Structure 1
Amino acid sequence: MSEIDTTKRSLEPEIMDDFDFRGEELRITLEDLEKVNSLLGGNQISIDGLKQLDLDRNSEISIVDVGCGNGAMLRKIADWGRKEKLKLKLTGVDANAYAIDIAQVLSKDYPELDFVTQNIFSSEFRSSKFDVVMCTLTLHHFKDSQIPEILHQFYDQSNIAVIINDLQRSALAYRLFKMFCAVFVKNEIARKDGLISILRGFKEHDINKYMNTIKVDTYSIQWKWAFRYLWIINK
C-alpha cells in the first residue's frame, strides 16, 4: 500500500474549483456529495455548532452558508429551525451560478432561504453582515496564504459567531473514504474531488496557526466523526 503524505496541505486543484462547472455532471456531483454528508453525518456537525450558540428565540437570526453548493446544508438548518421554532433568515452564497440555480430549484419549499451568486472577495459580499457566518466544507478550497484574511473577514461580518465545519487531513480518512466510495459513490468526480479534499484538509495545528495570525482569543476546535473539525469563533 502506497504511503499517503499528509504532512502538508495539498495544492492539487479540484474539479469543483471551476466556477464554470455546470450541467448534469454538476447536478449529479452535488447530489453525490450531499449523499456522502448525509450518510457520514457531516451536515449535522454544523447544526451541533448552532446548538452551542446562545440564539435569541424572540428575534430573527440571519445565517449565511459560504460555498453553499446545492443548498443542502441550509435546507437542513431550515428544517431544524422550524422544529425549534426559531426565526431564521438563511442565505446561501456560491461563486458558481449554476450551483445556485440548482439550489433555488431544490429549495422552492423553503421561503426562509435565499441564494446569491457572489465571490466572497467581492465588495458586495464583504459589505454584508450576518449573525452567524457558516463555512461548511469550503475553507479547504483556499490556500494557506488566503485563509487568515478570509477568517478575519468572516469574523468582521458576523455578529454572534463563525462556524466552520471542515475535513481533517488524515491518511486513515483517505483510505476509509476510498472504501466508502467503492460502495456508495459511483460518480467519478465526487470520488476524485473527495479524496483531494481530504489532502487539502486541516490538522489541529493548522487551525491554531491561522487563529494566532488573526489574534482572536475566543474559539474552540472539536474533532467530530467522520474526520471533521467543528471550529467555532465567538464574538
Structure 2
Amino acid sequence: MDNFMLSGNELDLLLNDLKTVNSYLGGRALTLNALKKLLTQCNRKTEITIMDIGCGDGEMLRLCAEYGQQKGFIFKLIGVDANQNIITIAQEKSSAYKNIEYYCCEVSSKQFENLEFDIALCTLFLHHIPESQIPLLLKKICSQSKVGVIINDLHRSWFAFQLFKVFSFFFIRTKIAKHDGLVSVARAFKRKDLEDQQDRIKGVTSTMQWKWAFRWQWILQKTN
C-alpha cells in the first residue's frame, strides 16, 4: 500500500482484501467506538468536520456518514490519501454521500495544512510512517485538530505475526496484501513505543487500550 502507483484490477482486489481484514479483525468497530467517545465533546447542533488520513476507498467515512445520520449529527467528512487511483475509487463508491469529499495529498503538503477539521482518524496509517517522522507528524495533526485524534494501529508481536499468516492463508486473495500485512505487523507498535510518542505531545490527554485483534486504540483529546 506504500506504492502510490497501484491501479486497476490489482488495486480493486487489494482494497477488497483490506476490507476483509478490517471486517474480521475489528478495525472498523475500533475506530467508530473511539469516535463515539470524542463526539461526546462536540455540539451535535453544529457541523463537525472529521478527517480520515490515509482514507483508502473511503469505507470508514461512509460508516461515519451513516452513523451521523442515524444519531442526528451534522458531519462534514474529508478523506485524504496520497494515491490518486484510490481517491478516484473512493469518490465513485461515495457518490451517494453528499457530505464526503476527497483530496489526493500527503500530510506533509501545503494542501493538507490548509484543511481544517475537528477530529482526525488514523486507521492503520501510522505504521507506514518512518519512526523518526512520527513525533512531528502527530504534533502537526494534533495542532490542526480542534477536538482530538483517533489512532487505530497494530500491536507488534510474534503471535500477531503468526496469526496473520494463518488468517491470510484462508481469507486473503492477493500476494501483495499477504506480504504487506506481515510487513505491517513487523512495523507495528509495542505499548512503550506509543507511550514514548505520547510523552512528546503537549496539550492533549491520552487514552490507550489494547483491543482484539492485536490493535491499539489510542485517543489523543485536546485540552485547550
TM normalised by structure 1 equals: 0.91
Partner of 1:11: none
Q: Does 1:135 align with 2:111?
A: no
Of the candidates 29, 47, 51, which is equivalent to residue 44 of structure 1?
Answer: 29
Equivalence for 1:10: none
Superposed, 1:167-178 pairs within 5 Å as 167-178=154-165
| Partner deviation per Cα, 1:151-175 (whole Å, 9 max, x = no partner) | 0000111000011111111111111
Separation in 2, partners of 1:39, 1:111: 28
Indicate the residue corresponding to 1:208 in structure 2: 195
Q: How far 1:197 sits from its partner (Å)?
A: 0.5
Aligned residue for 2:90?
A: 103
Please show how residues 1-235 of structure 1 align to structure 2 within 5 Å. 16-53=1-38, 54=40, 55-235=42-222
SS class of match (2:139): helix
Q: Secondary structure at the match of 1:219?
A: strand
TM-score, structure 2 length as denominator? 0.95
Q: CA deviation at 1:217?
A: 4.8
Q: Counterpart of 1:6?
A: none
Secondary structure at 1:214 match in 2: coil
Q: Which amino acid aligns with 1:56?
A: N
Describe the shift of the 1:60–1:170 C-alpha distance in structure 2 as closer, same or farther (beyond 3 A). Answer: same
Secondary structure, aligned partner of 1:151 = helix
Q: Secondary structure at the match of 1:57?
A: coil
> Given that residues 13 and 173 in structure 2 are in contact (C-alpha distance below 8 angstroms), is that contact kept between their aligned partners in structure 1?
no
Deviation sequence 1:59-92 (CA, Å, 0-9, x none): 1100000000111111111111111121111000
Q: Hey, what's the Cα distance between the residues in 1 that align with 2:26 and 2:62? A: 15
The sequence identity of aligned pairs, in percent, is 45
CA shift, 1:216, in A, is 4.5
Cα 1:173–1:216 shift into 2, 3 Å: farther
Task: Tell me the amino acid that sits aligned with residue 43 of structure 1.
Answer: R
SS of alignment partner, residue 127 of structure 2: helix
Q: Which runs of 4+ in 1 moved over 3 A?
A: none
Q: Number of residues paired by the alignment?
A: 220
Structure 1 Cα separation of the partners of residues 164 and 54 of structure 2: 22
Supply the distance in 1 between the matched residues of 2:135 and 2:166 (Cα, whole angstroms): 34
Go from structure 1 to structure 2 and tell me whether the alpha carbon gap of 1:217 and 1:107 turns closer, same or farther (over 3 Å shift). Answer: closer
CA-based RMSD? 1.1
Deviations 1:100-126 (A, max 9, x none): 001111111111111110111001111
- Structure 2 unaligned blocks of 5 or more: none
